[in-house]
Amino acid sequence: MRLTVTSWNINSVRLRIDLVARFIKAVRPDVLCLQETKCPDDAFPLKRFKRLGYEHISLNGQKGYHGVAVISRLPFESFHNRSFCGKTDCRHTGAVLGEKAGLRDPVTIHNFYVPAGGDIPDPAVNVKFAHKLGFLDEMRATADLHPAANERSILVGDLNVAPLECDVWSHKQMLGVVSHTPIETEKLTAIQKDGGWVDAVRGFVPPPQKLYTWWSYRAADWEAADRGRRLDHIWVSPALGDRVIETKVTRHARSWPRPSDHVPLTAVLEV
């Protein structure tokens, strides 16, 4: 059975629901993980998704900020939300696919929206950056993110860190910019290493090839400037490491009308 999973920071699901529908109709992922939904659960466009064939939804949202959702054509065995750093700021939701979805062995999906961290990369003067570093530390210490050898898990989301030199348009110029500072990249790399996570996308686009999923709204012509960053990720546990058969960055979505500054990131697995 093939399982297609997409991660996309949509930057307001209600504002961009037509773009989501456009993507869904073209790609038909089995599971769509959204970040920055910016929508309380009781205002989420459930009816629109159900008309599109996605009836199974795990939500963790709030008004105006943050928010995550796992939206699926396949039924869940269970779903849950986690809080980090003592805050209820809607940055994680997870779901388990199992027998109801036609899987003999379950697959757990974690969807994260890691704090962006503000503009100043100094936790002593920037509480947002301190929050980001604390969030990454707590992710590293979370038992659920250390899958056992036979455990089939997928971790996706806007992790707000571009860990590799080739994940940004200029490594030298970005070293002092939040999202690519050494302390952030080291912490994200430690989460990946300690959990044994496999970077699914870099398995198909290996370094030193450039790879971006985000382009700033500030660029007058984002495509010509091409000053991107790879802030969005799909990781799989070792048990799924050799089951990823395709990945894709839907780069052209950045040119759609009133787009998100992130684009969809998709992985296809044989499960």
pLDDT of amino acid 111: 98
SS3 state at 6:
strand
Q: Which residues of the chain have pLDDT under 50?
A: none
* Helices 127-141 and 182-195: angle between axes, nearest 10 degrees: 20
pLDDT of amino acid 205: 98
248 Cβ partners below 8 Å, 6+ apart? Answer: 265, 266
Q: Are strands 31-35 and 2-9 parallel, antiparallel or unpaired?
A: parallel
Q: Which residue has the tokens 């030193």?
A: 208
Report all structural domains of the chain as residue ranges with CATH numbers, in order of start: 2-270 (3.60.10.10)
pLDDT of amino acid 142: 96
Kindly write down the DSSP assignment for every residue of 185-212, as one continuous string.
Answer: HHHHHHHHHHHT-EETTTTTS-TTS---
Closest CA to 156 of 207, 102, 64, 92: 92
pLDDT of amino acid 58: 98
pLDDT of amino acid 7: 99
Q: Compute the distance between CA of residue 109 and CA of residue 96 in angstroms, rounded to an integer.
A: 6
pLDDT of amino acid 204: 97
pTM above 0.85, yes or no: yes
pLDDT of amino acid 249: 98
